[in-house]
A and B are shown apart, each in its own frame.
Chain A
């Protein structure tokens, strides 16, 4: 008795689709692994440049001036807030088959009530009493100036929260350059986290497809065993009985 042709061709199609997707994912995994290594080597280069500049700053300021002694501790009275924080969202590709987390750095925080203009540290009052006594047009001019200052200060980090301030009020240029290298290193760290997250998503999809493939093969084997039993029964039933 011929097997059901449609059922077999559907099963073959599923298996071939799974195998094709597994091949594509294997290539993706290799490419992502290579990208991960390249990005980590980039991080190493940036870190080395940062450490070199840090060593120059230590030479200028003294070895204990740029060390763990300047880092905030639990006993520190001043609040310490990170300026580089993460925004995590979920990402998917390949029609939703591969899902992973996507990290990005949050934009600089909005300026506090104490607005500072650029680098001179002059406070800008929100309301100027003399101007308010004049007509409304001048008042709007003050608002525009305040808004411009807010835009300027939000573009860079507040000098109050800048970690370079832990190392003195007038840090040398090498220390600033070291800070720039490590800010780039933080951006690279986020890239690495995204690649790693994508690798994990691809691995999860590969595991799922392997389990599905294994399940299909097991059900096919069980199906073929039951078909074999039926055929054996038919053969036995057709055998002539030799009574004499």
Chain B
């Protein structure tokens, strides 16, 4: 059963991550001229990142959001509060910081499924 066609992949990352994935063909400006990407640099505040992530989550044309893991750490509370299946938020490595499975929200949630009480 098709739920949606022509949905976008959003990206919140450093310059090289955004340039790279936009080269890959995911970049778009919607009818309101809003981009589906945010380039995070030293001058970008945590509130800007938070607002952008929440905006991407609210948009109905974005089904996957890519976010560098080191940037995800800054807005971890927003990621942990997002429990809906769509959009899927993927933590991806950046040029400066490699992927750490211990920090991944999805894997931490999966690890939390095995609690002592459930195994009784």
Number of A-B contacts (CB under 8 A): 171
B interface secondary structure, majority: mixed
A interface secondary structure, majority: helix
Inter-subunit contact A183/B25 (CB<8 Å): yes
Q: Mark B1-34, 1 if CB is under 8 A from A, else 0.
A: 1111111110000011111111111111100011
Inter-subunit contact A163/B7 (CB<8 Å): no
Interface size on B, residues (CB 8 A): 51
A203 within 8 A of B: yes
Interface residues of B in 91-112 (CB under 8 A from A): 92-93, 95, 98-99, 101, 104, 106-107, 109-110
Q: Mark A48-84, 1 if CB is under 8 A from B, else 0.
A: 1011001000000000001110111110100111111
Specify which chain B residues have a CB less than 8 angstroms from the CB of A43 in the assembled complex: 92-93, 99
Q: A29-B113, A50-B20 are in contact. Are A72 and B85 (CB under 8 A)?
A: no
Specify which chain A residues have a CB less than 8 angstroms from the CB of B23 in the assembled complex: 50, 54, 163-164, 175, 178-179, 182
Specify which chain B residues have a CB less than 8 angstroms from the CB of A178 in the assembled complex: 20, 23
Q: Which of A26, A40, A175 contacts B93 (CB 8 A)?
A: A40
Inter-subunit contact A189/B20 (CB<8 Å): no
Closest Cβ of chain B: how far from A244's Cβ, in Å?
54
Interface size on A, residues (CB 8 A): 63
Enumerate chain A interface residues (CB-CB to B < 8 A): 26, 29, 32-33, 36-37, 40-41, 43-44, 47-48, 50-51, 54, 66-68, 70-74, 76, 79-90, 100-101, 103, 106, 157, 163-164, 175, 178-179, 181-183, 185-186, 189-190, 192-193, 196-197, 199-200, 203, 206-207, 210
